[in-house]
Chain A
Amino acid sequence: MTKKIVISGIAAAVAVLALLAQERVVINLTGRGGKGAIAVPDFRGAGDAQRLMPLFNTTLWNEIDQSGLFRMIPKTSYPLNVPQQPTDFKPPQPAAAPTRRTPNPVSQPQGPWLTDWSGPPVNANYLAFGYTAVQDNKLVLFGLFYNVTQNDLQNAQVIGKVYFGTVDEAGARKVAQEFAADILKQFGAVSLAGTKIYFVSTRTGNKEIWQMEYDGSGQKPFTSYRSISTMPAVSPDGAKVAFTSYVRGQPEILVHSAENGRRLPFYNQTASMNATADFTPDGKSIVFSSTAAGGYAQLYMANVNGSGLRRLTNVRAIDVEPKVNPKTGTDIVFVSGRSGPQQIFRMNLEGADLERLTTGEGEASNPAWSPDGQHIAFAWTRGFEPGNFNIFVMDVASRQIQQLTHGAGRNENPTWAPDGVHIAFSSRRGRATHIYSMLADGTQVKQLTTQGQNEKPVWGKGTGR
């Protein structure tokens, strides 16, 4: 008896070690030389501009924070007086001038030195500062970005630029986002400003498709069918949204323009089910699951208006959720019950080179390609009870996996942001299901919705509006 326990204990330990060996960092977010520390003090506005500054400061801080590129230094450690323009900085003191008498600091006002920011307690590498004012009925931002570790002010300035917006909240958000985007661009990162997350919400009493900005702002309904509208997908150019609708009884695919919200023609096959649509990378075709041939739900491809049907799978098992690789356009991942409980498979569009990507353990679902076409994020119950999904990321070539959520709630439907660094997903914690975003290494988890039940996010480029 004791022996048995010892042996099973050893077996368990070996299993854990094997698991640990398998768990590697699949997505390396800080491979660009580590995280720099940045100070982003509150900007102030002259006159009328001041009322917009709380929103401006929050937006700027969040835009920089969410990039995952920087360590944000808490505002409490900043010097009391914050520079607002380049002339507020005093040139560095020459180190070898012990005999020179320093003027009385009280009678002659002096600006801070770069070392006030690069040295303790702030210890910043970078500083974003400036101010806003209203000029000619426009909100004007003077945005400056300094590398404070430089020895002189000329080399310290990385960005010094003027931004214009309307004198309202939209204008304050705009100039903050543009300034942040310029900062992020210095580090090779893409701003998420303007990207849209579509999701399903029950807020109106029915499941409708909703949309919001990447940070959870601007939430509004996209459909109003008063039926069940679910499982949205957004086209690569952000111009179309496809989803599964019960408006005519049986589940079928509807396609809407993202620009004006209007319905676009899509011919549905005569079938008990047409569902789980997604766009191909060129935006010209739609892949979906259908019972068009009777029997099991199988994978099909059609033109974006539903014509030109082509069958992709032919197997006595349920196939759903086809997703075409955004880089190659030729290989596809999907969910199938062909080997038992639902797992994730990959094949090419001709049906060849079929392989199962997940191990067969638990139940796997919701594969989503990263923009680079090398990784998938997906939901998996491996190691948990049926239904208790967590978010994983896999390097498809090496099959290396990394678990991003660890049992907090039921986590499903991961979707990559266009920057390839962020993932949005839904999580049911208690009775409420909400949309969250995080970095693709599982850190910086942020709740984006607070009302109703919310699920199935898809992250698309904005429509340019």
Chain B
Amino acid sequence: MGRYTTGSSRQTRVSAVVIALSLSIFAAGCKKKVAVARTPAPPPPVVQPAKPAEKPRISQFEAEPGTIEKGQAATLRWAVVGETTSITISPGIGNVAATGNRQVFPSSSSTYTLTATGPGGTDTATANVTINAAPAPPPVADRTPAKSLSELLASTVTDVYFDYDKYDIREDARGILARDADSLKAIFAKFPNASIVIEGHADERGSAEYNLGLSDRRATATRDFLVQLGVPGDRLKPVSFGKERPQCTDSNETCWQSNRRAHFAAGQ
């Protein structure tokens, strides 16, 4: 230790301060022995293995409901985390965003496969939609094929869209709702006990809390408009989803517009 040598070679001239300083540094080196005697030395540091590139992980992939009657819809929901280069759902859907949902109308029991591929690897998950055995055919009746409530809604009642932060019925929605009113009346004639949910949705930009109030207005404004056209209001149930159930999760106007909507679904 150089400092120690220097200190002893200049015994006469060295100041107390320098001694104190050099001793303190030296003492720091030798005190360790005592500490070790009192408590055991800490174990050698653990070397962490290098972390491999993380592969994408499918945190959710499910069909809801998992069992349907033929002709009914099931909703696939998925969420993928991690870095991905492609996310596909087969059969029949193709490339999708990292999170989302899609209605499917399988004609027979089907297994959907979600494949997420990224630089770190591939993850796959499956979701089953089981079709219940067809119920007994209706006893004779007219020749038109029987359609389920969901099927009728999907094929004859059209969603309407709204402007940003607005809930008034747009000009282009009036004609649509007039046709929807006729379709709904026909549906209620066919399904006297049915109730229809009017889902209000918002795009991702406002706060989730305010969007609840906003999409509630969209759903109730849609209901009120239909009631004016003679649809029974007690059979229409507005439900505000805000931005909780977007049908598109990209950040562009096309996607935002598709989320600012009122959508019709079969109630329980």
Contacts and interface: CB of A to CB of B under 8 A. Distances in A.
Interface of A: 42, 44-47, 50, 53, 79-82, 84, 88, 90, 93, 95-98, 100, 102, 105-106, 109-113, 115-116, 131, 133, 202-203, 205, 207, 228, 230-231, 244, 246, 249-251, 272-273, 275-276, 289, 291, 294-297, 318-321, 335, 337, 341-342, 363, 365-366, 379, 386-387, 389, 412, 431-432, 451-453, 455-456
Given A105-B30, A110-B31, A116-B24, A249 B237 contact: yes
A295 B42 CA distance: 68
Interface stretch (B134-142, B179-187, B205-213): B205-213
Residue among A110, A116, A321 with the most chain B CB within 10 A?
Answer: A110
Given A251-B240, A297-B216, 8 more contacts: A44-B39, A45-B39, A88-B35, A95-B16, A102-B19, A205-B60, A231-B209, A249-B268
Given A111-B27, A112-B27, A342-B210, A272 B79 contact: no
10 contacts: A98-B16, A109-B33, A110-B23, A116-B24, A131-B39, A231-B209, A250-B237, A272-B240, A363-B207, A452-B81
Contacts of B237: 249-250, 272
Interface string B152-177: 00000000000011000000000000
B31 A88 contact: yes
A26 B73 CA distance: 54
B52 interface: no
A90 B153 CA distance: 86
Given A202-B59, A202-B60, A432-B81, A79 B19 contact: no
Contacts, number: 187
Residue among A96, A131, A272, A432 with the most chain B CB within 10 A?
Answer: A272
Given A276-B209, A320-B212, A321-B209, A84 B35 contact: yes
Contact of A230 (B59, B208, B251): B208
Interface string B200-243: 00001111111011101101100000000000000001111000
**3 cross-chain pairs, A with B, having the tightest CB-CB distances, nearest first:** A387-B205, A365-B207, A318-B213
Contacts of B49: none
Contacts of A45: 39
B191 interface: no
Contacts of A363: 205-207, 210
Nearest to B62: A205
Interface string B76-108: 010101000000000000000011000000000
A249 B240 CA distance: 9
Contacts of A412: 207
A289 B16 contact: no
Residue among B23, B32, B99, B237 with the most chain A CB within 10 A?
Answer: B23
| Interface bin, chain B | 35 or more
Contacts of B62: 205
Contact of A386 (B28, B42, B81, B205): B205
Nearest to B23: A105
Nearest to B61: A205
Residue among B60, B99, B210, B239 with the most chain A CB within 10 A?
Answer: B210
Contacts of A96: 16
Contacts of A47: 39-40
A148 B164 CA distance: 61
Nearest to B219: A272
B38 interface: yes
Contacts of A231: 208-209
A305 to B, nearest CB: 23
Interface of B: 15-17, 19-20, 23-24, 26-35, 38-40, 42-43, 59-60, 62, 77, 79, 81, 98-99, 164-165, 197, 204-210, 212-214, 216-217, 219-220, 237-240, 244, 251, 267-268
Contact of A342 (B39, B207, B238): B207
Given A44-B39, A45-B39, A81-B29, A98 B209 contact: no
Contact of A50 (B42, B208, B220): B42
A93 B14 CA distance: 16
B213 A297 contact: yes
Contact of A319 (B32, B33, B213, B268): B213
B212 A97 contact: no
Contacts of A84: 35, 38-39
A431 B98 contact: yes
B28 A106 contact: no
Nearest to B212: A275
B244 A46 contact: no
A207 B59 CA distance: 12
A409 B85 CA distance: 22
A335 B79 contact: no
Contacts of A246: 244
A168 B123 CA distance: 37
B234 to A, nearest CB: 13
B32 A46 contact: no
A131 B40 CA distance: 11
Contacts of A88: 31, 34-35
A159 to B, nearest CB: 21
Contacts of A82: 35
Nearest to A132: B39
